[in-house]
């Protein structure tokens, strides 16, 4: 089993060209046995950070270390083969000239041959692909390729596992299935794991911790539900799902919005503040149930829920997410009430809009 | 070869097969000569005396040439495609230059330098099968380099990176992950190296490594046993055929499909100063050994005994022949590639036959063309007599057209390879997509295929351009009167042991080939960026 | 598809036009009598002396010289393929073997007009029926290091097979036509068995595997790799006459002798010419051959390429050739060398002379 330890990234920077930074002063730490998701839009620098941790990119500033040992800093670079990092690449990067078993045993070449094959077979069994050992990559389905890549990375018993968009090429149903297999395999390995993804659902369901990254910077780190419910910026909130927001001044410890007043005691009076509200926190009640009056202007289905566009009397239109059984038709007059658990009040302008 | 019966696919198999057959005709003529020519006891004599030695030498020379060309060409292609280091841009095209040096010229120069009395006599003398193999590697490795470089430029580095994260050292990752990925390209390059080594006469004769092609030239020279020479040539063809059949079957077994459809070429990794200088030195070494040193030796000899004949006309003739041949070769190469793509058996056989001409020594290939044109001429004469009376007004042999035709059959392999790999980029779905958008065959050819295969066709044309600049035996015998080329002039002097006078035309060949080489390298660089 | 065909057709037309342009007036014109201001020479030679002769001939007669240079074997095939359409007027090769084969293939006609000039050439240097004749000669001799070899101990080529020369001989590959010709002469004089025994002796005495050309064998003597080498006289002469100091040093380090072959005299081979059977410019060809055999024409060979003139009594200026002394030539008719060429190569093959 992997030893215990923490991978620490501190103030890491990587520049492309003269003044373009791909990674800009990033701090991050990964503990053994936990799964961290690095979530961000494409081009945010998350893959570059992953490659830097793997040793495939050199740092222009800052430091990466594991269990007290320096892996990367300016002018010093431990080569990837010496890092005990397992990587699952976005395109899996299976060796097309080797079959599944040989792909998995690639990293085990220090072991004697029979043992190497035994270990590789075990790893394949672990991802339920024992029966496909002799198949070449082009004979494997996308999902099978992904699992071979996972088994190959895990076979060397790495301290750190890095997965770059591991499910992006797969269809939705397969993705859900694989997520479970992958999560189990990663937990069993005990490695400090980083999964790079742009899919919020994937990050929320797989990770113990999520780090949000935009423009080369990490903007928030935390447990999935904390991040979802209490984002500290609009950008962070949007990375994890739909959000409604209202800006205003804090008066008497409250922020007044068209959907009501929210507690803003943590923010000083008279400062600009912003309320971030998840659509599922907006309850849609019958005309007399109390709350803010609104008219339904559109109803759409979205992934097992109904999404209602509600026009407020102030002219704002907000999205609410309700159960499908909540049959409200377009044109109906309703009352909106907000569950404070789904509201995060932040200082406006503290982070980029 | 997957037989594709997709109705929407554009694969003009008949014209392509005919084009390929035209290239294959001289080879077929030589084969027919071997089968139907008079049998003497020469084959029995040679089999009981020199044949085993010819065969061992042939094996040794080609294996050494192929291994050394692999060791030089493939890693440098990888370094140049993946890393940034001082001088990288210049090295990109400079590495291709030794291809412009005729192997016999390099052999004469290196032997002259390293023989015991020579200025580099402290080195082991470049001679025998090892020396000949190394000379071929030094002048032909650019085939491997160019094709491998194009392959690496189009691939992401993920396989190499994956190998590194799995504990492989840089060298291990290159050998175990990057090398296999470029395997089809490298194999195609090595095939050209091997064929040209098989066909060479001048270098092996001079360096005392008599291969099969020396043997068959002797059969012809000493006994006039043309049919026996043709039979020995067929052994070369069979060797080449078996080699390629094996290579293709291997390739099919582990098909080179990438794990997923998406590929993005990776950013170059900038090397720190130390390794950067090492990379530069690694790139400079083969250029020095294959081009600069032998050319400098010839140049130095040229200073001590300058040639007083003007090379201008010969240079013009070389340029004319090389240009005309390369344009036609690009077209025929593409046609043959289409024949291969069509999946039709007859078309494939024709194209494969056309490629084999490369393994036949030039003088034998020239003989095939001579015989072919001779019979064609008598047919024309007979027909003309019946209709108009008198002989056909044009004597075909000794014309530029006969010569260009001879080149096509000789260098078809160099043209087909790049065209074939370019056409591989055109997947059948592209044709289907274009058809569904209302494109006609003509639209598909010009708007879909051409943009994708243009670089391959260009590469094919330029390789033939350089080959024709260097070509000797066919040029010598097929050319019109008073029509000297640079290669002929260089060889005449060199074979008369007048290295100094051979130097100027040899240097001119390199100079004329230079823009072609730079163009090839640029083109590949551009396709890599797009 | 039709596009491809059109391109093809277009190229063919363009090519034909080129062909016509390139050989329009040298080609099929059968009526050589009309303006015939030219002569077409197919030659296996490519030496300075030849270009000088072409120029001098044109200067003197106004007749243009067109030439094509290629290996003798290929030249023979081309003339044969073109048959009566061949533009060739004169075929020149660098050894008697090829002339013999061309004559066997019926490519020559007798040049009776030259009877007088041919009288000046020793009978053994021309075809018995004058189908062809040698116009310059080369002697295959022995270069040696005077400090390591006592010249008096080599009185005949046969001596080189003696065990005392073990590991001391350099010679080029047996595929070389000069070696074949030497062997053909030996077969003629001593018979095939003795010739084979001699060849086996040489193979046994080789200092190194055959490599390089004749000049390289001489360099090897200078470098001490071997003590004797079998080379043509003009390669030695060229080094001794060289403008390059390093080359002249090599030349100075060796001496050259032309011992008899099995007692029959020195081995002489010829560059020879024949009048093509279908010569379209027969008259001009005769004039060229006349010029070739004139004193003026003959002088070019010794003075520009260190060859000996074939015509007897031609005076020339070449100190190195003079230094080689009188040649006591093997009286064998060089035609016999052609007849024995195949047997010579087989002997080489059998004794394993690479």
DSSP per-residue string spanning B403-469: HHHHHHHHHHHHHHHHHHHHHHTS-HHHHHHHHHTT--HHHIIIIIIHHHHHHHHHHHHHHHHHHHH
Does residue B284 register a pLDDT over 60?
Answer: yes
Torsion angle of the four alpha carbons A309, A313, A315, A318, in this order, in degrees rounded to the nearest 10: -30
Domain ranges of chain C: 33-137+269-320, 139-267+325-351
Domain identity same for A152 and A257: no
Judge if A227 and A246 occupy the same domain. Answer: no
pLDDT of residue B306: 64
- Per the CB < 8 A criterion, the answer to whether C175 and B50 are in contact is no
Average pLDDT, chain B: 82
Q: Between residues 136 and 195 of chain C, which touch chain B (CB distance below 8 Å)?
A: 173, 175, 177, 180
Per the CB < 8 Å rule, is C28 touching B391? yes
Same domain (yes/no): A266, A329? yes
**Which chain B residues are closer than 8 Å to A97 by Cβ?**
180-181, 183, 254, 256
Q: Which residues of B touch C187 (CB under 8 A)?
A: none
pLDDT tens sequence across B2-42: 334 444 456 667 767 777 777 788 888 888 988 988 888 88
Chain centroid to Cα C342, Å, comes to: 17
* In chain B, domain spans: 10-39+308-497, 41-229+273-305
Q: How far apart are CA B185 and CA B182, in angstroms?
A: 6
| pLDDT confidence of residue A342 | 92
Query: DSSP assignment, residue B39?
Result: P
Q: Any CB–CB contact under 8 A between B177 and chain A?
A: yes
Binding-face residues of C in 231-290 toward B, CB within 8 A:
235, 242-244, 247, 250
User: Do A254 and A116 share a domain, yes or no?
Assistant: no
Could you say which of B170, B173, B254 has the minimum Cβ distance to residue A96? B254
Residues of chain B in contact with residue C70, where contact means CB-CB under 8 angstroms, are 473, 476-477
Which residues in chain A touch residue B166, judged by CB atoms under 8 angstroms apart?
A: 81, 86, 106-107, 152-153, 156
Q: Which of C346, C351, C352, C353 is the best mutation test for B, with the most CBs of B within 10 A? A: C346
With a cut of 90, say whether residue C289 has pLDDT above it.
yes
Query: Nearest CB to A106: which of B161, B163, B254?
Result: B163
Mutation to test the A interface, candidates B83, B250, B252, B260, most A Cβ within 10 Å:
B260
pLDDT of residue C42: 94
Q: How far apart are CA C83 and CA B381, in angstroms?
A: 12
CB contact under 8 A, A56 and B258: no
Q: Flag whether pLDDT at B350 surpasses 50.
A: yes
- Report d(CA B93, CA B437) in Å as an integer: 40
Q: Over 90: is that where the pLDDT of B62 sits?
A: yes
Q: Which residues contact B436 (CB under 8 A, 6 or more apart)?
A: none
Q: How far is A266 from chain B (nearest CA, A)?
A: 46
Question: Taking the alpha carbons of B289, B291, B293, B298 in that order, is the dihedral positive or negative?
Answer: positive
Chain-chain contact of B370 with C77 (C-beta, under 8 angstroms): yes
The set of chains that have 3 or more CB pairs under 8 A with B is A, C
CB contact under 8 A, A96 and B262: no
CATH class of residue range B41-229+273-305: mainly alpha
Q: What is the mean pLDDT of residues B423-452?
A: 74
- A51 contacts B260? CB cut-off 8 A: no
The residue in chain A having the minimum alpha-carbon distance to the alpha carbon of residue B167 is A81
Check CB contact of B173 with chain A, cutoff 8 Å: yes
C-alpha closest to that of B280 among B517, B89, B85: B85
pLDDT value, residue C20: 38
User: Averaged over C217-228, what is the pLDDT?
Assistant: 94
Distance separating alpha carbons of residues A318 and A331, to the nearest angstrom = 15
CB contact under 8 A, A89 and B161: yes
Q: Is residue A206 located within the same domain as residue A250?
A: no
- Chain A residues lying within 8 Å of B83, measured CB to CB: none
Q: What angle do CA B444, B445, B451 make, to 5 degrees?
A: 100
- Count of domains in chain A? 2
Which residue, among A95, A111, A196, would best test binding to B if mutated, counting the most B CBs under 10 Å from its CB?
A: A95
- Render pLDDT for C172-196 as a digit per residue (tens, 0 to 9): 999 888 999 999 999 999 999 999 9
**Cβ contact B29:B239 at 8 Å:** no
Residues B189-247: pLDDT tens digits?
898 899 889 888 888 988 989 998 888 888 887 777 888 888 888 888 888 888 777 77
pLDDT bin (cut points 50, 70, 90) of residue A29 is: very high
Kindly provide the ipTM of the predicted complex, given to two decimals. 0.80
Residues in chain A closer than 8 A to B176 (CB atoms): 95, 106
Candidate from B222, B401, B473 with C-beta closest to C180:
B222
- Give the neighbours of chain A: at least 3 Cβ pairs within 8 Å: B
Which pLDDT belongs to residue A289? 67
**Of A231, A259, A289, which closes a domain?**
A231
pLDDT for B429 equals 67
- Residue A352 located in a structural domain: no
- B482's enclosing H/E stretch is none
Is a pLDDT exceeding 60 seen at residue C36? no
3-state class of C239 per DSSP? helix
CA angle centred on A235, ends A218 and A39, rounded to 5°: 50
Is A53 in the same domain as A181? yes
Question: Residue B159 — pLDDT band, cuts 50, 70, 90?
Answer: confident
Give residue-wise pLDDT tens across range C306-326.
999 999 999 999 988 998 888
- Among the four given CATH numbers 1.20.140.10, 3.40.640.10, 3.40.190.10, 3.30.700.30, the one describing domain C139-267+325-351: 3.40.190.10
The helix or strand, by DSSP H or E, that contains position A3, with its residue range, turns out to be none
Q: How far apart are CA A185 and CA A88, in angstroms?
A: 13
* Two tokens, residue B283: 């790139």
Whether residue A28 is found in the same domain as residue A142? yes
pLDDT score, position C200: 96
Q: How far is C151 from chain B (nearest CA, A)?
A: 23
Q: How confident is the model at residue B518, as a pLDDT?
A: 76
B443 pLDDT band, cuts 50/70/90, is confident
Q: Which of A202, A231, A260 is the last residue of a domain?
A: A231
DSSP one-letter code for C314 = -
Residue listed under structure tokens 């089999």? B47
B525 falls in which pLDDT band (50, 70, 90)? low
Contact B217, B361 (CB under 8 A): yes
- Judge whether C33-137+269-320 and C139-267+325-351 match in fold: yes
The answer to whether residue C158 scores a pLDDT higher than 60 is: yes
Sequence-distant (≥ 6) Cβ neighbours of residue A218 within 8 angstroms: A26, A27, A28, A211, A212
Interatomic CA distance for residues C286 and C89, integer angstroms:
9
Residue B162 with chain A: CB contacts under 8 Å: 87, 89, 93, 95, 152
pLDDT of residue B341 exceeding 90 = no
Across the interface, do A81 and B262 touch by the CB < 8 Å criterion? no
Residue C345 pLDDT: 92
pLDDT higher at B424 or B528: B424
Chains C and A touch (3+ CB pairs under 8 A): no
The CATH architecture of the domain made up of C33-137+269-320 is 3-Layer(aba) Sandwich (3.40)
B186 reaches A (C-beta below 8 A)? no
Residues of B in contact with A16 (CB under 8 A): 267
Q: Determine the distance in angstroms separating the CA of B267 from the nearest CA of chain C, rounded to an integer.
A: 40
Residue A236 placed within a domain: no
Same-domain check for residues A224 and A302: no
Give the DSSP letter string of B199-256: H--HHHHHHT---HHHHHHHHHHHH--HHHHHHHHHHHHHHHHHHHHHHHHHHHHT--
Least Cα distance to B214 among B368, B425, B361, B12 occurs for B361
Q: Give the closest-approach CA distance of B185 to chain A in angstroms.
A: 14
Cβ neighbours of residue B104 closer than 8 Å, sequence gap 6 or more:
B200, B202, B203, B206, B472, B491, B494
User: What are A185-219's pLDDT values in tens digits?
Assistant: 888 888 999 999 999 988 998 899 999 999 999 99
Say if residue A204 is in the same domain as residue A58: yes
CA angle, A312 then A314 then A315, to 5°: 70
Task: Give the one of C71, C173, C215 whose C-beta lies nearest to B205's C-beta.
Answer: C173
Convert the pLDDT of each residue in B380-393 to its tens digit.
888 888 888 777 87
Chain B residue with the nearest C-alpha to that of A157:
B166
Cβ atoms of B170 and B200 closer than 8 Å = no
pLDDT at residue C57 above 90?
yes
Chain segment B285-336, per-residue pLDDT in tens: 999 999 999 989 888 887 776 666 678 888 999 999 999 999 988 888 888 8
Q: To the nearest 10°, report the CA torsion of C76, C80, C85, C90.
A: 30
Size of interface A-B (CB pairs under 8 A): 102
Say if B10-39+308-497 and B41-229+273-305 have the same CATH topology.
yes
- Domain identity same for A118 and A252: no
Count Cβ–Cβ pairs < 8 Å, chain B vs chain C.
Answer: 203
Residue B472 pLDDT grade (very low, low, confident, very high; cuts 50, 70, 90): confident
* Structure confidence at residue C24 (pLDDT): 35
Q: Within a 10 A sphere around the Cβ of A117, how many other Cβ atoms?
A: 17
B111: chain C residues, CB-CB within 8 Å: 211-212, 216
A205 shares its domain with A291: no
Identify which of C81, C175, C341 has the shortest CB distance to residue B397: C81
Mean pLDDT of B430-449: 74
Query: What is the extent of the structural domain holding A263?
Result: 242-347
Residue B308 has a pLDDT of 64
On the CB side of A197, CA atoms within 13 Å amount to: 26
Global pTM value? 0.81
Model confidence band, residue C11 (pLDDT cutoffs 50, 70, 90): very low
| B398 neighbourhood in chain C, CB within 8 Å | 23, 27, 68, 78, 82, 87
Give the CATH superfamily of B10-39+308-497.
MetI-like (1.10.3720.10)
Contact B337, B420 (CB under 8 A): yes
With an 8 Å Cβ cutoff, are A169 and B260 in contact?
yes
Q: What is the CATH number of the domain that holds A287?
A: 2.40.50.140
Which residue's entry shows tokens 């045993």? A105
């Amino acid at each position: 089993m992997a030893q215990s330890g923490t991978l620490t990234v501190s103030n890491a920077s990587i520049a492309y060209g003269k003044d373009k930074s791909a990674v800009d002063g990033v701090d991050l730490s990964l503990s053994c046995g936990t799964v961290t998701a690095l979530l961000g839009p494409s081009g945010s620098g998350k893959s570059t950070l992953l490659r830097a941790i793997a040793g495939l990119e050199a740092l222009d500033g800052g430091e990466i270390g594991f269990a007290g040992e320096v892996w990367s800093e300016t002018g010093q670079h431990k080569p990837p083969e010496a890092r005990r990092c397992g990587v699952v690449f976005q395109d899996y990067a299976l060796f097309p000239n080797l079959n599944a078993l040989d792909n998995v045993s690639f990293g085990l070449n220090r072991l004697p041959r029979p043992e190497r094959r035994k270990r590789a077979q075990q790893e394949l069994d672990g991802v339920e692909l024992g029966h496909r050992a002799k198949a070449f990559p082009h004979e494997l389905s996308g999902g099978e390729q992904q699992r071979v890549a996972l088994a190959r990375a895990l076979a060397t018993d790495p301290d750190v596992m890095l997965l770059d968009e591991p499910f992006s090429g797969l269809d939705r149903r397969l993705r859900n299935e694989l997520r479970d297999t992958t999560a189990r395999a990663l937990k069993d390995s005990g490695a400090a794991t980083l999964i790079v993804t742009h899919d919020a659902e994937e990050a929320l369901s797989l990770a113990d911790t999520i780090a949000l990254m935009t423009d080369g910077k990490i903007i928030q780190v935390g447990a999935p539900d904390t991040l979802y419910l209490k984002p500290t910026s609009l950008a962070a909130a949007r990375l994890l799902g739909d959000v409604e927001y209202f800006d205003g001044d804090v008066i008497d410890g409250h922020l007044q919005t068209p959907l009501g007043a929210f507690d803003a005691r943590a923010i000083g009076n008279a400062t600009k503040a912003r309320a971030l509200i998840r659509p599922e926190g907006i309850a849609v009640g019958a005309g007399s149930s109390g709350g803010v009056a609104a008219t339904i202007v559109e109803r759409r289905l979205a992934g097992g829920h109904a999404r209602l566009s509600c026009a407020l009397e102030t002219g704002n239109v907000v999205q609410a997410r309700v159960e499908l059984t909540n049959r409200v038709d377009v044109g109906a007059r309703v009352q909106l009430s907000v569950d404070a658990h789904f509201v995060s009040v932040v200082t406006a302008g503290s982070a980029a809009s | 070869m997957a037989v594709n019966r997709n109705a929407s696919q554009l694969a003009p198999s008949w014209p392509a097969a005919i084009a390929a057959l035209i290239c294959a005709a001289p080879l077929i003529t030589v084969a027919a000569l071997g089968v139907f020519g008079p049998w003497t006891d020469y084959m029995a004599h040679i089999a009981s005396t020199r044949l085993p030695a010819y065969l061992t030498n042939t094996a040794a020379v080609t294996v050494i040439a192929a291994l050394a060309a692999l060791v030089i060409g493939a890693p440098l292609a990888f370094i140049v495609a993946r890393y940034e280091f001082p001088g990288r841009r210049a090295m990109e095209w400079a590495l291709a230059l030794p291809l412009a040096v005729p192997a016999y010229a390099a052999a004469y120069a290196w032997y002259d330098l390293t023989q015991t009395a020579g200025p580099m006599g402290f080195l082991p003398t470049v001679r025998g099968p090892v020396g000949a193999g190394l000379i071929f590697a030094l002048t032909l490795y650019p085939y491997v380099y160019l094709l491998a470089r194009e392959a690496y430029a189009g691939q992401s580095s993920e396989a190499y990176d994956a190998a590194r994260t799995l504990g492989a050292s840089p060298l291990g990752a290159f050998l175990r992950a990057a090398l296999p990925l470029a395997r089809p390209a490298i194999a195609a390059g090595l095939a050209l190296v091997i064929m040209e080594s098989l066909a060479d006469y001048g270098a092996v004769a001079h360096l005392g490594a008599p291969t099969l092609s020396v043997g068959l030239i002797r059969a012809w020279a000493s006994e006039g046993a043309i049919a026996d020479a043709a039979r020995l040539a067929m052994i070369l063809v069979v060797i080449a055929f078996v080699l390629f059949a094996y290579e293709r079957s291997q390739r099919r077994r582990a098909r080179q499909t990438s794990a997923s459809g998406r590929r993005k070429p990776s950013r170059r990794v900038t090397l720190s100063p130390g390794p950067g200088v090492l990379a530069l030195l690694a790139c400079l070494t083969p250029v020095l050994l294959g081009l600069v040193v032998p050319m400098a030796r010839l140049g130095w000899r040229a200073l001590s005994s300058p040639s007083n004949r003007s090379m201008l006309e010969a240079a013009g003739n070389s340029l004319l022949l090389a240009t005309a041949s390369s344009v036609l070769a690009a077209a025929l190469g593409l046609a043959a590639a289409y024949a291969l793509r069509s999946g039709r058996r007859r078309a494939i056989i024709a194209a494969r036959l056309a490629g084999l001409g490369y393994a036949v020594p030039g003088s034998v290939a020239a003989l095939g063309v001579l015989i072919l044109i001779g019979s064609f001429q008598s047919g024309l004469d007979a027909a003309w007599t019946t209709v108009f009376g008198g002989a056909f007004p044009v004597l075909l042999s000794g014309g530029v057209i006969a010569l260009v035709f001879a080149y096509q059959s000789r260098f078809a392999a160099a043209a087909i390879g790049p065209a074939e790999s370019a056409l591989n980029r055109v997947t059948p779905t592209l044709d289907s997509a274009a058809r569904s958008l209302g494109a006609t065959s003509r639209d598909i050819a010009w708007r879909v295929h051409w943009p994708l295969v243009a670089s391959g066709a260009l590469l094919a044309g330029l390789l033939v351009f350089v080959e024709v600049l260097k070509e000797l035996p066919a040029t010598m015998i097929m050319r019109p009167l008073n029509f000297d080329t640079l290669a002929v002039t260089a060889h005449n002097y060199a074979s008369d042991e007048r290295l100094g006078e051979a130097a100027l035309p040899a240097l001119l060949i390199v100079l004329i080939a230079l823009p072609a080489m730079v163009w090839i390298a640029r083109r590949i660089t551009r396709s890599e960026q797009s | 598809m039709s596009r491809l065909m059109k391109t093809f057709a277009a190229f063919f037309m363009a090519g034909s036009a080129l062909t016509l342009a390139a050989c329009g007036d040298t080609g099929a014109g059968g009526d050589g009598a009309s303006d015939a201001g030219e002569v077409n020479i197919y030659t296996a030679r490519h030496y300075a002396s030849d270009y000088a002769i072409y120029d001098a001939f044109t200067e003197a007669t106004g007749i243009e010289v067109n030439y094509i240079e290629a290996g003798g074997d290929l030249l023979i095939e081309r003339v044969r393929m073109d048959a009566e359409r061949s533009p060739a007027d004169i075929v020149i090769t660098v050894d008697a073997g090829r002339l013999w084969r061309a004559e066997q293939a019926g490519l020559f006609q007798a040049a009776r007009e030259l009877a007088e000039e041919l009288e000046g050439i020793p009978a053994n240097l021309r075809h018995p029926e004058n189908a062809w004749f040698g116009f310059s000669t080369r002697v295959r001799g022995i270069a040696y290091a005077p400090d390591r070899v006592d010249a008096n101990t080599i009185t005949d080529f046969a001596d080189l097979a003696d065990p005392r020369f073990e590991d001391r001989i350099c010679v080029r590959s047996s595929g070389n036509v000069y070696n074949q010709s030497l062997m053909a002469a030996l077969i003629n004089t001593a018979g095939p068995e003795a010739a084979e025994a001699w060849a086996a002796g040489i193979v046994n005495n080789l200092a190194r595997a055959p490599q390089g050309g004749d000049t390289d064998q001489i360099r090897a003597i200078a470098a001490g790799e071997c003590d004797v080498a079998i080379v043509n006289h003009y390669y030695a002469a060229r080094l001794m006459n060289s403008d390059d100091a390093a080359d002249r040093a090599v030349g100075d380090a060796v001496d050259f002798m032309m011992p008899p072959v099995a007692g029959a005299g020195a081995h002489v081979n010829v560059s020879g010419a024949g009048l093509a059977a279908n010569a379209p410019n027969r008259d001009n060809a005769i004039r060229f051959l006349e010029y070739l055999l004139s004193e003026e024409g003959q002088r070019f060979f010794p003075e520009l390429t260190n060859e000996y003139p074939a015509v007897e009594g031609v005076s020339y200026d070449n100190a190195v050739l003079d230094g080689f002394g009188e040649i006591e030539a093997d009286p064998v008719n060089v035609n016999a060398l052609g007849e024995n060429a195949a047997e010579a190569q087989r002997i080489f093959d059998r004794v394993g002379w690479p």
